Amino acid sequence: MTSTDQPSPPPTIRREDYRPPAFLVEQVDLHIALHPTATRVRARLALRRNPAAPATPALELDGEALTLLSAALDGAPLAADRLHHLPGGGLRIDGMPDSAVLETEVEISPEANSELSGLYLSGGNYFTQCEAEGFRRITYFPDRPDVMARYTTTLEADRATCPVLLSNGNPDGAGELPDGRHWARWSDPHPKPSYLFAVVAGDLVAVRDRFTTRSGRAVALAIYVRRGDEDACGHAMDSLKRSMAWDEATYGLEYDLDVFNIAAVSDFNMGAMENKGLNVFNTKYILARPETATDADYEGIETVVAHEYFHNWTGNRVTCRDWFQLSLKEGLTVFRDQHFSADQGSAAVKRLADVRRLRSAQFPEDAGPMAHPVRPDSYVEINNFYTATVYQKGAEVVRMMRALIGEANFRRGMDLYIARHDNQAVTIEDFVRAMQDASGVDLSRFSRWYAQAGTPELRVWEAFEAGRYTLTLSQSTPPTPGQPDKQPVPIPVAMGLIGPDGAALAEPQMLLLEETEQTYVFEGLPAKPVPSLLRGFSAPVKLSGLTLEQLGFLAAHDTDAFVRWESSQQYATAAMLEMVAALRSQKPLELPEGLAAITAALLDRAMEDPAFAAEALALPSEEFIADQMAVADPEAIHAVRHFLRGALGRRFAARFAALHGDLAESGPYRIDGAAIGRRALRNAALAYLGAAGETARAEAQFAAATNMTDSLAALRVLADSDSPAREAALAAFHARWKDEPLVLDKWFMIQAMSPRTGAAAAEALSHHPDFDLRNPNRVRALVGAFAAGNPAAFHAASGEGYRFLADMVIALDAVNTQVAARMVSPLGPWKRQDAARGAMMRAALERIAARPGLSKGTYEKVSKSLA
């Protein structure tokens, strides 16, 4: 943190400055006596000089918010002249022998920890979060992922308030102590980096199950939750068992401990954490009952449970050398969880959802002030780099690599990667090298995808003459901060050619665009084809150059579901951009007949694949449209989208009403792809009817709904409408769910994202007694959802939206700096707004920047946004 009067900028950490650690830790034995305000942590570290590092006489240990009580080296207390406190809170010990045992004791206060990093209290129970740099808030340690050690952890607490005592690894003894206290020891046989350390303790109950690995290891599974939530763990447990089986079947990877524990916590900075043998989850990604969780929540649980489980090999057994390599574990593990979820249901629909998410979160990031490569070159605060680029684009890069080398080679590459690097902390180059060695394919140029920020733009030109079709593809990547000049990247373009009657004119193939421009020639075609490009979204790029006519044709005729969806989205995007232009020159808005025709065709085939139809019927988001404009116009974009939804709703009112009626649930509620797809389509129809001003159905559905998907879909329609039922529905929902925090989050979120909620109303919600700055889920539900999901209100011409966000960031920065820094993002792209808005956004950023004592994470976001 910077000091109040002389703020000096926090240091930048650079990848090229990496040096191996001077000392390694062989064994860590922790003894933790839990207490809300005075937890005592005794650590015994067996240290050894690292033969791979230049010899230094001093040992440096990280530490933050620790009170040192004692320190001894090889059994003798350390003299004051050998022990130095470092500025950031760490320790330096001089005169180190080549190997030594260091014993320290510190005191920490879980209750005072509102950062939710290190050891903290939530609802009276103890949880830890150590990634990325939280272990240093528990004890002095070389807190970097390339220091891998074996751990034992002995926990001690009151039996009455803390019956459950959990840590990593396998249970290794437990017993009673005087004064109503008890202890439990855990021992983790696998060496691990400190960021995977975890403790969970308190009054929790376990839901138990078993899994036998294919080599016959019996694994005791448990999910620990608060009493009363036991009935809400079934989907998470089922997802866990399917993940374990999938990783065995797909990659031959088995679980490697006797127990696998998950604990759920309401106060959590992220989604979940892959601590070895003891995953800690945000309750949002564990708890689900049909009455309280939507279909999207169920899908989120399946994905996140799988993601954390898959980290056991990609992240834990093989970990990152340093935090610049974060995508080594995150990109790869997202790729694996996406593949898993695709295997569970409709792969095509899953792909659309993944692409939609990439484009709504990652593309804007790549075009904004925080743009960075999948493997960043520098950071100020590593917590700011848990981004869509590292996660989602990182997964796309792995996916492209698999497309280039083929599935069988990819599997051999994974085997080789794990065989070579088990129990090591490695780099992205090591991963690419394994893939290259296993496949024999030169991936050196491909590695540019890891080094270069920005979204490549792909353009298409065509010519056709006498049966000869010439397709020219060109690429360019716009400059990003610190990277003015870009090189071409290898872009795999999965494609096909379609004849006028909709039949394929050539075998589907994969073109590889490696240069700035390449031309491909197809001979002997009976007619001019329409090119179907980027099938399955084979590369994370922006494609342009097809005509509206071609897009309409592809939307109707392509065999590839992705291209059909994409073409209808691109068609709608082009139409909406034209309408925005029309509106700005005061022309009246009309429903474009081409879009109506696409919608009619989608409706004709809707029942063939309801989940796909629901995705395809959704118009591109306001954010996506804004992203296509040099200077956005949030009001005009909102007006156009609002108009179109209403016009389509009116034009096809009878068909939407029929769909809504026909798809009514009969029989018991089910969570499977087919049932989810039917609900999605039915609720898409409901929303179009609502947009056309028909809210009676939404009212009826809201009153009758027995599951959260239908209830929330109806509430959203009412909340977005000017129906007199709006306020009553919101009040009823609050009254019914005020004691269910995850549902209350939805109540905040629906309002935060409603175009009928202006900045003033969002601000008023921040004073609601149920709003809580200390709970990240609640902050995301109101502040995050408003700033990122309600563009018209956030960008209100008055500047109130910006002021509200800046006020929230400032207040949050004093409570939880990680969450505060995340909330800054929507203020970043001020260059994409008009001059008046841009100036107000900058003023909001400057007001945050001027706060004395601002955290380095928020400082980094704000200063990079202003640059």
**Cβ neighbours of 387 (radius 10 Å):** 24
Please state the closest distance from residue 316 (CB atom) to ligand PHE, in A. Answer: 10
Choose the binding region for ligand PHE from 220-228, 304-312, 353-361, 709-717 (rule: CB under 6 A).
304-312
131 binds, among Zn ion, ligand PHE, none (CB under 5 to 8 A by kind): ligand PHE
Residue 156 in contact with ligand PHE, rule: CB under 6 A: no
Residues numbered 361-400 forming contacts with ligand PHE, rule: CB under 6 A: 386
Instruction: Tell which residue, 816, 763, 768, 818, has the closest CA to residue 787.
Output: 763
* Residue 226 in contact with ligand PHE, rule: CB under 6 A: no
Distance (Å, rounded) from C-alpha 395 to C-alpha 391?
Answer: 6
Total number of residues that touch Zn ion (CB under 5 A): 2
Helix and strand element counts for the chain (H, E): 30, 31
Q: Of 308, 337, 623, 720, which lies in the binding site for ligand PHE, with binding defined by CB under 6 A? A: 308
Question: Shortest approach of Zn ion to residue 308 CB, angstroms?
Answer: 7
Catalytic residue, chosen from 103, 308, 330, 763, is: 308
Considering beta carbons, is residue 283 or 790 the nearer one to ligand PHE? 283
Nearer to ligand PHE, 272 or 785 (CB): 272
Q: How far is the CB of 790 from ligand PHE (least distance, A)?
A: 26
Give the residue, chosen from 28, 165, 263, 273, that forms a contact with ligand PHE under the rule CB under 6 A. Answer: 273
Q: Return the one option of Zn ion, ligand PHE, none that residue 627 interacts with (CB less than 5 to 8 A, by type).
A: none
Q: Which does 421 bind (CB under 5 to 8 A by kind): ligand PHE, Zn ion, none?
A: none
Say whether 308 is catalytic: yes
Asked whether the beta carbons of 774 and 817 are under 8 A apart, the reply is no
Among 194, 172, 176, 196, smallest CA distance to 185 is for 172
Stretch that binds ligand PHE, among 41-49, 269-277, 570-578, 659-667 (CB under 6 A): 269-277
Question: At 785, is the secondary structure helix, strand, or coil?
Answer: helix
Site for ligand PHE in 629-648 (CB under 6 A): none
**Per-residue contact flags (x/-) with Zn ion for residues 307 to 336, judged by CB under 5 A:** -----------------------x--x---
Binds 709: which of Zn ion, ligand PHE, none (CB < 5-8 Å by kind):
none
Question: Does position 131 bind ligand PHE by CB under 6 A?
Answer: yes
Whether residue 132 is preceded by a cis peptide bond, meaning omega within 30 degrees of 0, is yes
C-beta of 439: minimal distance to Zn ion in Å?
25
Distance, CA of 344 to CA of 249 (rounded, Å): 13
> Token pair of 161, please?
């308030």
Q: How far apart are CA 604 and CA 649, in angstroms?
A: 15
115: contact with ligand PHE by CB under 6 A: no
CA nearest neighbour of 417 among 435, 399, 403? 435
Q: Pick the piece of the chain touching ligand PHE (CB under 6 A) from 305-313, 550-558, 662-670, 671-679.
A: 305-313
CB 315 → ligand PHE: shortest distance, Å? 7
CB 751 within 8 A of CB 757: yes
Considering beta carbons, is residue 330 or 745 the nearer one to ligand PHE? 330
In the list ligand PHE, Zn ion, none, the entry touching 199 (Cβ below 5 to 8 angstroms by class) is none
Which residues lie across from 486 on neighbouring strands?
none
Cα distances (angstroms) measured from residue 830 to each of 270, 433, 534, 554, 786: 26, 40, 31, 36, 17
**Cβ burial, residue 448 (10 Å; 0-12/13-18/19+):** middle
Residues contacting ligand PHE: total by CB under 6 A: 12
Task: Give first-to-last CA distance, the chain, whole Å.
Answer: 20
The label of the residue with tokens 């929790």 reads 204
Nearer to Zn ion, 330 or 558 (CB): 330
Q: Closest distance between ligand PHE and the C-beta of residue 34, in Å?
A: 21
Which one-letter amino acid corresponds to residue 626?
Answer: A
As measured in angstroms, the least distance from the Cβ of 743 to ligand PHE is 23
Q: What is the dihedral of CA 412, 415, 421, 427, to 10 degrees?
A: 50
Residue 854 near residue 811, CB atoms below 8 Å: no
> Between residues 125 and 452, which has the closer beta carbon with respect to ligand PHE?
125
Residues 6+ apart with CB under 8 A from 705: 711, 714
Q: Per-residue string for binding with Zn ion, 333-362, x by CB under 5 A?
A: x-----------------------------
**Which residue from 28, 102, 225, 272 is in contact with ligand PHE, where contact means CB under 6 A?**
272
Contacts of 452 (CB under 8 A, 6+ apart): 373, 477, 483, 486, 487, 489
Rg of the chain in Å (alpha carbons): 28
609: closest CA among 669, 562, 551? 562
Residue 354 tokens read as 């993944």
Q: Shortest Cβ distance from residue 450 to ligand PHE (Å)?
A: 18
Cα–Cα distance, 619 to 633 (Å, whole number): 17
Catalytic residue numbers, as ranges: 308
Residues that bind ligand PHE (CB under 6 A): 129, 131, 269-270, 272-274, 307-308, 311, 330, 386
